[in-house]
Structure 1
Amino acid sequence: MPSVRPMFLSLLAAAALTACGGGGDGGDSAPEETRLQDSRNSFVPAEPAATTFDALKADAGDTVDNASTSRWAGVLGGAAYRIEVPANWNGRLVMYAHGYAGTGNTLAITNPSIRRHLIQSGYAWAASSYTKNYYDVRVGVEDTNALAQAFSSIAAARGRTLSAPQRTYIVGHSMGGHIAAAAIEAEAQATANHKVRYHGAVPMCGVMGDTELFDYFTAAQVTAQAIAGVPQQPLTGWPAVSAQVTSTLFTTFPSVPTATGMGYLAVVQNLTGGPRPLFDLGMAVGGSFAAVWGVFGGDGTVNGILNSNVADTTRFTYVIDGNAAASAALNAAVQKISATPDANRLRRDGLRWIPKANGEIGIPVVTLHTLGDLYVPFSMQQIYQRRVAAKGNSGWLVQRAIRGASHCDFTVAEQVEAFDAMVQWEQGGAKPAGDDVLTPATVAAPTYGCTYTRNTLGPDDSNTTAQLRGAIAQNAATCP
């Protein structure tokens, strides 16, 4: 199987370009509107003078000397970067996209969690801080692509002559998973200012439903208010009612719901992917739902990434399992929120403000998602599967469910296995196996997610992952 279908991608890119007016929006030469994010220009790299970074600590299983790699740090177009190239480089480059870094002014870089595997296997990797924080997937795609384009020239400037990579892959976590998914889309090939043709992608715990994540956040807020008996009000009024809602739904937030709160948790379960293993543990010990509760009260602009509300709850029918009457009453009473038309429209000056994962792909994609993730929930994978299938591209997608209790709490072994499966597929191997993410009975089975869960911990696994996998084992939720 060829790794990329150039003609196929060119046709898709041409279609996307036509959809956005060939880059000119039907000949309209007026300047594009601006938004709050455009005026935020005080971001600075954490280490602006850095020219290198520490070698990876040796481990007994290493086969090459980690200290022998070329390690370059610097600033490109306002974004900090790190690049690492092993002495025995195999000609392949892996771009790593980090997740959401908050709203501060300091730009930081995250090394890929599979760094050891990459350099031990001969891969080069590169990672950008991006030029801005906030949920700015647009700059994440552009700055990651710009760094990929500059890889060989940066190497030359540092005294090492490298040819252009034979293959370029992209992997990412959380918002970085969104970046990875958006970067490989036909729409990005048509509208990005920095265009890179990737050969394969591994988005992990990614926002694969792009703006539909904010639909979920909003739905979780309005249903919490409705079930707690709080009258309808503007979403931004949350601070005034949050204490009342929390005490009505939880004895101890979020691990001990009240009797009323049990109905709310049923709604959340169905919003996040339906009945499945690890949902209860995700709520009780995973910690990711607190982040959802923390974003309530927004105005739908994603903190100034957009100019108007993008969240829409009109597509939801809320379900409290086993209680049809309560479900009907909730759907009749709950506040319904509609998105502003074209809040996230195509732009004339580059990517959308929140780039899309439309499913217009033509390269191998292997995704990972934990079942207990309630911040970027498992339903993101279901949305993405439907989009890819609707475009006729299911042959390019493999999805794997992992029995983790929180957001992105994969073991390194799970991530390495997914990456290697993608590469072997891209290099002409058979399409790897994955999980059915759509059939409710399959997803609800007690052993769902066991196939690709690897609980063996290594030197690069975090203490958080180790603790959470231990909690899963203590609650008899491990696989046979």
Structure 2
Amino acid sequence: MPTTYRRVATRFVPSVALLATLATAACAADTSTPLTGRQKAVQSRSDSVAMKNCAAQCTGDIDGAKYTIKLPQKWNGTLLLYSHGYRFAAPAPPTFSAVETNAQVTSTDSDGSGSDELSQKLLSEGYALAGSSYKSNGWAVGDGVSAGEQLHDKFVSLVGKPNRTYVWGDSLGGLITQIIAEKNPAWVDGAAPMCGAVAGPNYNFDVALDVAFAVKALVDPQLKLTGYSSAEDAAANWTHAEKAVVKAASDISGGGTAKVLFIAALVNAPTATGTYDGHDVTSQVKARVEALLTALAFGTSGRYELEQRVGGDPSQNTDANYPARIDAAENQLISTVGGSVTKLESALASLPRVSADTAARTAIEKLGDTTGQLSAPTVTLHTEADPLVLVQNESVLAARTRVAGRSGQLVQLFIAPPATFSESTGAPYGAGHCNFSMGQRLGLISVLDNWVRRSAYPVQSGLVSAIGDGYAPVFAPGPWPGDEKG
């Protein structure tokens, strides 16, 4: 994302009639021009393509990153090249899980074995799978892009040249996926970023700063916003803030609940998460607490790693117009629980704004960002209620694609959660970060494959059939929170 901001419009949702027209037009295109060798391979209907068995070399290490290749019994000629999501460089909140360094070949492959149900299903359909870890954890966008590119080359040398290659990935891996696709039109034939941070680093870390800034101003004055001395210092700041946010959320009479709702409104935090369905105000408050604490994890531990990587704090809120982010409905809800938006805005204004380190802000962009220059069919998938990578990331990508004149190469799919679900079982899909069913992930690949291999532009009837329950054909994410920067 360039450091000069531009206004992001709500994503245009084409009508069913328009999609049908586009599909018909594609099928009716002039077929008199001879196909190139690559086009013939991409459109090949063969489901039994020759391949070499990489055997012991199907696992290994490339430039400090572990990789895994899984081959089907009969190859359809397609390589699915997977990029995994963000991994903390040190144990970090909210789970403080051990650091991971394993390769993954799909979203649900936990150890690189490909023994999970999703991987097994794709292998049974003839796809070859490949995935890699990155040589560093954290905001390792450059490392992730290099790992994907090198693994593609390794696959070609060990197994053979695919007829077509689709890149896909979750979360940070969704951003990496899109960058790989934009950089490598010579061999990427389709892209499927899932729950991707496709608005890039500065948009996403600026929002994380917005959350931390408001928490400091209204709930936890001791919270340090930048310049942590160590990973332990960053985690300790989160732990202290977590207690303050949870305590405030339950303090209706003292105004704490109103503060939590106000902070959430500043960043369009979803009213549902994977745990809470948001069916009433109590559930919505719980969901927003979960969303804010998730964002704070990246605003503390994630920020520490990022500052070490780029040599300073790349985030800023100097131009943020926070009052403009509170709409009438949010104002009313805050008032309902006894809060005054005017007083909260005044308290927020009393805290000095944060300016970015210019060199660090430039450095984070150089690690990699999307441009909208799509050269291959791209199908994104995002939950409507994502507490970590806001669904408005898709609005930013759509806007960049329109500016680049490549909107015809982009289809964006959204998954809605059920209206209600149990806290004990959680949402089956649609709410939570990267919370998709196996069928939805398989449907995504099917939609992309039909578009690339059979020139079948995705139309609503086909999408409903492929994606199934949860597909939200008329949903459109709004503008990015803080679009007043434009």
Q: Which bracket does the TM-score occupy, shorter chain normalised?
A: 0.5 to 0.7
- Aligned pair 1:166/2:163, yes or no? yes
* Distance in 1 of aligned mates of 2:391 and 2:178: 16
By how many angstroms is 1:203 displaced?
Answer: 0.7
- Aligned pair 1:384/2:397, yes or no? yes
By how many angstroms is 1:401 displaced?
Answer: 1.9
Partner secondary structure for residue 377 of structure 1: coil
By how many angstroms is 1:176 displaced?
Answer: 0.8
Partner secondary structure for residue 375 of structure 2: coil
By how many angstroms is 1:341 displaced?
Answer: 2.5
Structure 2 counterpart of 1:184: 181
By how many angstroms is 1:78 displaced?
Answer: 2.5
* Distance in 1 of aligned mates of 2:158 and 2:363: 32
By how many angstroms is 1:90 displaced?
Answer: 1.1
Q: Deviations over 1:144-187 (max 9, x none)?
A: 111101113223xxxxxx3x1111110001111111011122xx
- Aligned pair 1:310/2:300, yes or no? no
Partner secondary structure for residue 110 of structure 1: coil
- Of the candidates 283, 286, 294, which is equivalent to residue 284 of structure 1? 286
By how many angstroms is 1:304 displaced?
Answer: 1.9
Please say if residues 344 and 354 of structure 1, whose CA atoms lie closer than 8 Å, have aligned partners that are also in contact. no
Please say if residues 230 and 241 of structure 1, whose CA atoms lie closer than 8 Å, have aligned partners that are also in contact. no
Change (3 A) 1:259 1:180: same
* Distance in 2 of aligned mates of 1:240 and 1:366: 39
> Which aligned pairs between 1:185-204 and structure 2 lie closer than 5 A?
185=182, 188-189=183-184, 197-204=187-194
> Which aligned pairs between 1:14-413 and structure 2 lie closer than 5 A?
72-103=58-89, 107-112=101-106, 113=108, 114-155=118-159, 162=160, 164-185=161-182, 188-189=183-184, 197-211=187-201, 212-228=203-219, 230=221, 235-236=226-227, 246=242, 249-251=245-247, 259-272=255-268, 280=278, 284=286, 287=290, 289-297=292-300, 302-318=306-322, 319-320=325-326, 321-322=330-331, 325-326=342-343, 328-329=345-346, 332-345=349-362, 353-402=366-415, 403=417, 404-413=430-439
By how many angstroms is 1:305 displaced?
Answer: 2.1
Change (3 A) 1:291 1:248: closer
Change (3 A) 1:248 1:142: closer
Change (3 A) 1:231 1:108: closer
> Any runs of at least 4 consecutive aligned residues in structure 1 with deviations exceeding 6 A, and if so which?
237-244, 252-258, 273-279
* Distance in 1 of aligned mates of 2:389 and 2:367: 16
Gaps of 5+ in 1: 3-63, 156-161, 190-194, 435-448, 457-480
Partner secondary structure for residue 338 of structure 1: coil
- Please, which moves more after superposition, 364-373 or 71-80? 71-80
Partner secondary structure for residue 358 of structure 2: coil
By how many angstroms is 1:248 displaced?
Answer: 5.2
Please say if residues 369 and 378 of structure 1, whose CA atoms lie closer than 8 Å, have aligned partners that are also in contact. yes
Change (3 A) 1:88 1:453: closer
Please say if residues 105 and 132 of structure 2, whose CA atoms lie closer than 8 Å, have aligned partners that are also in contact. no
- Aligned pair 1:415/2:441, yes or no? yes
- Please, which moves more after superposition, 336-345 or 115-124? 336-345
Q: Deviations over 1:440-460 (max 9, x none)?
A: xxxxxxxxx99956369xxxx
| Counterpart code for 1:183 | I
By how many angstroms is 1:430 displaced?
Answer: 3.9
* Distance in 2 of aligned mates of 1:317 and 1:450: 43
* Distance in 2 of aligned mates of 1:331 and 1:147: 48
Please say if residues 300 and 310 of structure 1, whose CA atoms lie closer than 8 Å, have aligned partners that are also in contact. no
* Distance in 2 of aligned mates of 1:255 and 1:197: 56
Please say if residues 85 and 119 of structure 1, whose CA atoms lie closer than 8 Å, have aligned partners that are also in contact. yes
Q: Alignment RMSD, CA only? A: 3.9
* Distance in 1 of aligned mates of 2:267 and 2:227: 21
Please say if residues 378 and 411 of structure 2, whose CA atoms lie closer than 8 Å, have aligned partners that are also in contact. yes
- Please, which moves more after superposition, 397-406 or 218-227? 397-406
* Distance in 2 of aligned mates of 1:255 and 1:405: 26
* Distance in 2 of aligned mates of 1:116 and 1:95: 15
Q: Deviations over 1:244-283 (max 9, x none)?
A: 7555543387999973333433432451467789784687
Q: Deviations over 1:349-394 (max 9, x none)?
A: xxx6520112121211111112332122222222222222222222
- Please, which moves more after superposition, 355-364 or 90-99? 355-364
Please say if residues 97 and 179 of structure 1, whose CA atoms lie closer than 8 Å, have aligned partners that are also in contact. yes
* Distance in 2 of aligned mates of 1:301 and 1:262: 32
* Distance in 1 of aligned mates of 2:69 and 2:175: 22
Identical aligned pairs, as a percentage?
23
Change (3 A) 1:376 1:234: closer
Which TM-score applies when normalising by structure 1? 0.64
Change (3 A) 1:103 1:410: same
Please say if residues 85 and 174 of structure 2, whose CA atoms lie closer than 8 Å, have aligned partners that are also in contact. yes
Count of aligned pairs between the two proteins: 359
Partner secondary structure for residue 388 of structure 2: coil
- Please, which moves more after superposition, 196-205 or 267-276? 267-276
Partner secondary structure for residue 410 of structure 1: coil
By how many angstroms is 1:288 displaced?
Answer: 5.3
